[in-house]
Amino acid sequence: MTESNKNPGAADAHGASTGKGEKKSEWQTVKAIMAASSGNLVEWFDFYIYAFFSVYFADQFFVGDDEAAKLMQAAAVFFVGFLMRPIGGYIFGRAADRIGRKNSMLISILLMCAGSLCMAILPTYAAVGVWSPLLLLLVRMIQGLAVGGEYGATATYMSEVATEGKRGFYSSFQYVTLIGGQLLASLLAVVMTHTLGTDQIEAGWWRLPFVIGAAAAIVSLWLRRGLEETTSADTRKDENSGSFREVLRHPRAFLVVLGITSVGSLVFYVFTTYMQKYLLLSNQGTPSEEVFDKGSIADLMSVCLLIFVVMQPIAGAISDKIGRKNNMLIFVIGMIALPIPLLSMIGKAESVVTAGILIIIAMAFISMYTSISGIVKAEMFPAHIRGIGVGFTYAIGNSLFGGSAEYVALWFRNAGIGTWFAVYVVIIAVVGFVAVLYMHDNRRHSTIDNAESSAYKRIGS
């Protein structure tokens, strides 16, 4: 049985991308992108709050005298949240293929709302002892499940609803809102640091951001209710719809997505969330210690993330002109050449301006991946397994290499071999480079725009 026979929705990929087969206006596309990405913004804001505020509440959940060890334990909990993402990617990716992208996105935002509310009321170690870190771990698992489901459904929806010829540009807004959520978390940390001060935040005000996140999730839920479904009834009813076994019958797509996600997720978290801890720990006991305090680092990362946000649509539009594969080649070559010298120079930087410039250089290369992270994967899978193919496969690579980034970096540091972490990053980048070599040019082999001529074919019967 051919792929087109097994997937009734694949043959009308253009119709599927509009929801009902009719051509959408540019304004309708923009509205759909905005509504879908609003939930993405909220979910990632909720998820990243932990990363930015863990420096304030780690002492309250983990005991000991070593600050680096407590940050490492907090990073380990962050990592466990990532380990839940493949489960979320599987559950919600399957749901996106079988009951629709819209319904999957609605359920995931509800789950994240519940997780944020739980974070806001978690008891500390002083109140419940060892139950405190265990409860923290449980809540992070819930949030990891939710955000793991968010990526695949949103990536596939935004890729399908985007205008042909501009899919890279429009799909880049997934990472605009993903980084935007991270930026809002960082900005909130800046505002609270300057208005309340470290002592008051540590005294309990660190809970406020989680309350804000839960409230924002309710607003996003309302916005997403008006979205049109992009999959057809035939696609959802296909016998192999949402089947991971069917994903494995597209091995080239599966392995390429896994490879590029591994390096993409790793370097993204290295140069965003880990930078806060890296700068803080690198300058302890040096003349620059007072320059790189928690407040100044939060200021620095907010500026860097704002610039990173602006880079996304630019890099996405470039991919529409030169092709996704060329974007990805620029990215992986940069990540092979730059991490060792950049991390060394950032660690030795004596001013926030110097550190910021170096971080932005790395972000410029990373944006060539992040801007097209969703669309480059969605274009490799047919419609009936696009949700699970993108969501679950991405979540595996992201949880193993992105979620572990902070923990692995801190492990190298505590072991006294911190400089070897950059070598580890380069090794994973080489793996990503091999994966990119096996990519096809999306301008001829996109399963969204050219379903019948795509080289990402199903094997077996």
Q: What is the pLDDT of residues 184-236, one digit of tens each?
A: 887 888 888 889 988 899 888 989 999 998 998 888 888 888 888 888 888 88
Say what angle helices 251-270 and 405-414 make with each other, to 10 degrees: 50
pLDDT at 15 (0 to 100): 39
pLDDT at 434 (0 to 100): 97
Let me know if residue 457 belongs to a domain: no
**Of 77-91, 156-170, 343-357, the least confident:** 77-91
Q: What is the pLDDT of residues 323-341, one digit of tens each?
A: 999 999 999 999 999 999 9
Q: Quick one: pLDDT band at residue 33, thresholds 50, 70, 90? A: confident
**Residue 19 in this model has a pLDDT that exceeds 60:** no
Let me know if residue 454 belongs to a domain: no
Let me know if residue 78 belongs to a domain: yes
In this structure, are residues 194 and 293 in contact, taking their beta carbons and an 8 Å threshold? no
How large is the average pLDDT for residues 303-323?
95
Q: Quick one: pLDDT band at residue 123, thresholds 50, 70, 90? A: very high
How large is the average pLDDT for residues 81-87?
83
**Of 61-65, 109-113, 131-135, 166-170, the least confident:** 61-65
Let me know if residue 213 belongs to a domain: yes
Pull the structure tokens for residue 457: 């074919």
Report the candidate in 369, 121, 174 with the shortest Cα–Cα distance to residue 257.
Answer: 369
Q: What is the pLDDT of residues 40-67, one digit of tens each?
A: 788 778 777 887 788 788 888 887 767 6
Let me know if residue 459 belongs to a domain: no
Let me know if residue 458 belongs to a domain: no
CATH value at residue 172 = 1.20.1250.20
State what percent of residues in the chain have pLDDT above 70: 92
Higher pLDDT pick, 76 / 382: 382
- Distance (Å, whole) CA 152 – CA 395: 8
- Distance (Å, whole) CA 320 – CA 149: 27
Q: Find the angle CA(234)-CA(238)-CA(242) to the nearest 5 degrees.
A: 120
Higher pLDDT pick, 319 / 189: 319
- Distance (Å, whole) CA 235 – CA 384: 5
Pull the structure tokens for residue 371: 């801007």
State what percent of residues in the chain have pLDDT above 90: 38
Residue position matching structure tokens 């900005």? 187
In this structure, are residues 331 and 369 in contact, taking their beta carbons and an 8 Å threshold? yes
Q: What is the pLDDT of residues 142-198, one digit of tens each?
A: 988 988 888 888 888 898 888 888 999 999 998 898 888 878 887 888 888 889 988
- Distance (Å, whole) CA 425 – CA 421: 6
As a residue count, the chain comes to: 461
**Residue 349 in this model has a pLDDT that exceeds 90:** no
How large is the average pLDDT for residues 268-290?
80
Let me know if residue 90 belongs to a domain: yes
How distant, in Å, are the alpha carbons of 109, 213, 214, 366, 405 from that of 219? 10, 10, 9, 31, 32
What is the residue type of 234?
A: D
**Residue 14 in this model has a pLDDT that exceeds 60:** no
pLDDT at 453 (0 to 100): 67
**Residue 418 in this model has a pLDDT that exceeds 90:** no
Question: Count H helices, E strands: the chain?
Answer: 25, 0
**Residue 1 in this model has a pLDDT that exceeds 60:** no
How large is the average pLDDT for residues 388-393?
91
Mean predicted lDDT score pLDDT of the chain: 85
Q: Quick one: pLDDT band at residue 16, thresholds 50, 70, 90? A: very low
Phi–psi pair at 127, nearest 5 degrees? -90, -40
Structural domain harbouring 40: 17-445
How large is the average pLDDT for residues 270-296?
79
Let me know if residue 305 belongs to a domain: yes
- Distance (Å, whole) CA 358 – CA 341: 10
pLDDT at 60 (0 to 100): 85
Count of the separate structural domains present in the chain: 1
